[in-house]
Amino acid sequence: MSKKADKYLSTTLLKGMKIIAAFSTEKQLFTLSELAVHTGLDKATCSRLANTFIHLGYVGRDENKKFYLEPRILRLGFAYLNGSELRNVAEKHLRKLSIELGYTANMAVLDDTEILIIFRNEIGKTLRRVIDQGVTLPAYCTSQGKVLLSYLHPSLALDKFRRSDIRKYTENTICTEDTFMDELENIRKQGYSICDQEYDYSFSSVAAPIFDHKGDNVAAVSFVYQPQSITEDKKQKLVNNTIEITKHLSFLIGYNPEDNITRKISDLQVFA
């Protein structure tokens, strides 16, 4: 780039983007010193920029004073995401399977302590709560939210739980830290989540993760059912259907388990 073009660039923005670009699946947490080394910026500049991003909601800082990237960063690209490969590919497959199975399908991404519904195909009008595309729901008591939280570093997931507006929506809502974190570990191991009337007595749901070409959990798909009208056999079939469709969608957007097996093993060792 020429020096003439350089004069039109914002050096502050360029430095700020170095902060955002530093975070990755392999490195989710940074101390101030680590961030300075990784970006090549001095600690004072890193501190000022990181705290600006915290103020804007794009970066967080945990109890150990380590910085991490907030899923709110997805808001910057939501318009793109809404018309991106993921939604375009997923929409027709989810709608088709939703109609075939007779269950409402949802796809969501994590937005800090909540999930953001980016696709919904509703079957019937049986739910008491109004849920549609663009609606946010608490992550800690929804099947999609738990799936998305389960693939975060445990300290980040715990931080989001603690910052959530914890309330006992039903007698089944999990409100204690230890029980919640144990459930996230089980969800990560089994590859799916079932929320049994935790958010509303009128419905339960099963969810599974979608991974991108890097092996990152970028979204979750859920199917909603009325707990009183489903047998255990049908529930297990729905679990299998949910896992299969998310595996297929992951494949369509470039995920290859064999390419990511080394990273996954490394992740499990870190999360243990």
Q: Find the length of the chain.
A: 272
Alpha helices, DSSP H, located in the chain: 3-6, 11-22, 32-39, 43-56, 78-82, 85-101, 143-150, 154-163, 177-190, 232-252, 257-271
What distance lies between CA 108 and its chain's CA centroid?
8
Residue 79: its pLDDT value, please? 45
Residue 166 · residue 222 · CB < 8 Å: no
Give a three-class secondary structure readout of 119-180.
EEECCCCCCCCCCCCCCEEECCCCHHHHHHHHCCCHHHHHHHHHHCCCCCCCCCCCCCHHHH
**What is the mean pLDDT for each group of 10 consecutive residues in the chain (272 residues)?**
60 87 79 92 92 88 86 60 67 93 92 88 65 76 96 93 93 95 96 93 93 88 91 94 94 77 45 41
What one-character DSSP code corresponds to residue 69? E
Residue 227: its pLDDT value, please? 87
Residue 25: its pLDDT value, please? 60
Residue 20: its pLDDT value, please? 87
Residue 126: its pLDDT value, please? 53
Residue 2: its pLDDT value, please? 45
